[in-house]
Structure 1
Amino acid sequence: MSVEHDRSTNDRRPSRLTRAGDRQETASKLLASAARTSYDPLIEIDWEAPVPGDLYGMSPEWCSLYGTPMWDEMTQQQRITLTIHEAASIAGTGIWFEMILMQMLVRDIYFHDPSTAHVQFALTEIADECRHSTMFARSAAKFGVPSYRPKTWIRTAARPFKATATGSLAYGGTLFAEEILDMMQREFMRDTRVQPLTRTVSRIHVVEEARHIRFAREETVRRAANITRFQQARVRFVLAVTAYFVVTSLVNKNVYAAAGLDAEAAIHAAKNNVHYHDMVRRGCANTVEFLTEVGLIGGPSTMLLRRAHII
């Protein structure tokens, strides 16, 4: 009987993915990490340095046309130009969602005691995101490219989400935006083929975002543990919609004309690019595994995730 009891106890233990420490203890550790390693992009980045003309804006393997016949036919200069514009587009989507995240965090801590480590780290994260958004915007301007953003109707439709999303929905949605960008930027910052500006921006974001990801994951675990089945179904659906629009908004369709390409043909090629779909799935794999483990991916909502090539 004791053997059976031990086995059932072990079965109930959280997996490595879904462990969450004490909220205040985790926040204290994250605050200490932020005190040791944080950056001011206005100082850390040499904004006056020239932009090399022979380096990609990001790792070309992440380009939406990489692996297509159109990519093979492009000149090297067109490839460089396209990757610079796509990097700026990804950053623009990042700014959009970071603005949403900042509002969700402020709402989430509004009634909490500001003397606690949890609230203080949330405020630290908000400050980080302000700097990151400024950094992304300034890097696009340095490259001399437009300020790409998701379509107006998508930004408008997101207003209810940013105004009302709470708990596991807010933090789970945050992970979809943060973790795919983190995966990309870990590759960008190590890639010597990539512009120094992109590499430095990526390094700063990766270091600071690691704390944000841990914070969001642990909060997702805590909040998801206390929702009803009806709430779970709702969170799954809205989370899938959020992930769909985040991922499909990464590459603004105007980037193709900027590289001197036939926009309609390029959009068609990107839409059917199996290589890019595989990269998106790889970029979202950790998020999908985690959110599945905590019960926030499943059921009919997975159809939207498949349409966006997230799963």
Structure 2
Amino acid sequence: MRAWVYDRLSAKASSDHYDPHTGFDWPPALPGDEYWFSPELLSVHGTEYADELSDKQLCTLSRWESVNFYSVQVHHIRDLLVEVMRRVHTPGFEVPSEFFHHLVGEENEHMWFFATFCLKYGGRIYPDDRLRPPCAGLDPALEDFLAFARILVFEQIVGHYNARLAADTRLHPAIRQLNRIRHQDGSRHIAFGARLVRLLWERLAEAGPGEDGRRAAGRCLSEYLRATMASFYSPAAYRDAGLAAGSDLRKRLLDHPARRAAHARVLHETTGFLDRIGVPVTV
């Protein structure tokens, strides 16, 4: 990556810096009779299961799906921080390491934001129940690529939600502000990540990983995309919302054509980018 790119992004990160402990107003409580999550983003949207729920039930579900959404981000950000810190100021990452410090600082603040929201308004952080695809033991260069590709695609996925939530006037201003801050920082992370991932893929191609390496990368990222989307369907959130048979409902929703189509819309930017650089993924 050219030095001027990370210099520009680092300067932007510095100019946009805020103190999360003093720059955010946490209301004592959020209204229980309002949406905490845009109805169109709920995991039941577009299905017959949504039609069976009253507006009050949908509001309740939005509360717990909101808590799950931020819980998922707490867990993903923790993984992100580990991966970045393993590589900061190491051979091959000399140029982007300056921006890594901004990335780590901002993501740590996001994790604090989301954990605070979950504990303050939901009384819990849902546990991490993701199924992790078996992608260990690969070539180190391929592992570097996959680490930052996963970071990028997660930023792109949650960015889709953050932008929608930040603009939804039906939501409490505190919820909109939380997502607006995340989206503002995430936009820089996506710009940075897209350049770094493309560079790492080009390096990998020059090293000649062959067709097996390309397929391994595509397989690992495909599984990651599916697992990430599935994490937004929480049996625990369904139970807290008073919906019966949470695990069975999750399976039925994940298999539902309307939800598969919704996933394709969320992942459109991500799959398009991976296709352009030559990474074969299926979702």
Indicate the TM-score class for this superposition, using the shorter chain for normalisation. Answer: 0.7 to 0.9
For the 8 Å contact 2:214–2:279, the answer to whether it is kept is yes
CA deviation vs aligned residue, 1:182-220 (integer Å, no higher than 9, x gap): 011101011011232321110010000111111111011
Distance 1:160 1:121 in 2: 26
Pair 1:102–1:254, CA change in 2 (3 A): same
Alignment equivalent of 1:87, drawn from 66, 80, 88: 66
What one-letter code is carried by the residue in structure 1 that aligns with 2:51? D
Task: Judge conservation of contact 1:63–1:276 (CA < 8 Å) in 2.
Answer: no
Q: Which amino acid aligns with 2:236?
A: N
1:281 corresponds to which residue?
A: 264
**Which residue of the other structure, out of 191, 198, 215, is the alignment partner of 2:192?**
215
Matches within 5 A, 1:105-254: 105-112=84-91, 118-151=96-129, 154=131, 160=136, 166-227=143-204, 228-229=209-210, 230-254=212-236
Q: Give 1:41 deviation, angstroms.
A: 2.7
- Flag the 1:113–1:281 CA change in 2: closer, same or farther, 3 A: closer
Q: 2:32–2:60: 8 Å Cα contact kept in structure 1?
A: no
Which residue among 256, 277, 283 is the counterpart of 1:294? 277
SS of match in other structure, 1:251: coil
**What do residues 126-165 of structure 1 show as CA deviations (whole Å, max 9, x unaligned)?**
011111111111111222243113317x36x78959xx77
Equivalent residues of 2:135, 2:220 under 8 A apart: no
Question: Shift of the alpha carbon at 1:231?
Answer: 2.6
User: Residue type matched to 1:45 in 2?
Assistant: F
- Aligned mates of 2:19, 2:117 — CA distance in 1: 14
AA aligned to 1:252 is S
Distance 2:64 2:272 in 1: 31
Q: How many residues align?
A: 274
Q: Which stretch has the larger CA shift, 249-258 or 261-270?
A: 261-270
Contact 2:165 2:175 in 1 (8 A): yes
CA contact (8 A) 1:30 1:121 kept: yes
Structure 2 unmatched ranges of 5 or more: none
Q: SS of 1:147's equivalent?
A: coil
| Alignment partners' CA distance in 2, 1:254 and 1:128 | 29
Shift of 1:282: 1.0
User: Which protein shows a greater Rg?
Assistant: 1
Moved more, 80-89 or 124-133: 80-89
CA deviation map 1:56-108 (0-9, x unaligned) = 11111111112223322222222111112112212222121111111111122
Tell me the distance in 2 between the aligned counterparts of 1:196 and 1:94: 20
Native 8 Å contact 2:29 2:121 kept in 1: no
Q: 1:212 to 1:142 in 2, by over 3 A?
A: same
* Counterpart Cα distance in 2 of 1:182 and 1:241: 20
Which deviates further from its counterpart, 281-290 or 270-279? 270-279
The two structures have a TM-score, normalised by structure 1, of: 0.80
Task: Give yes or no for contact 1:109–1:122 (8 Å, CA) kept in 2.
Answer: yes
Distance 1:46 1:169, change over 3 A: same
State, as a whole percentage, how many aligned pairs show the same letter: 24
Match of 1:10 in 2: none
> Hey, what's the Cα distance between the residues in 1 that align with 2:134 and 2:104?
19
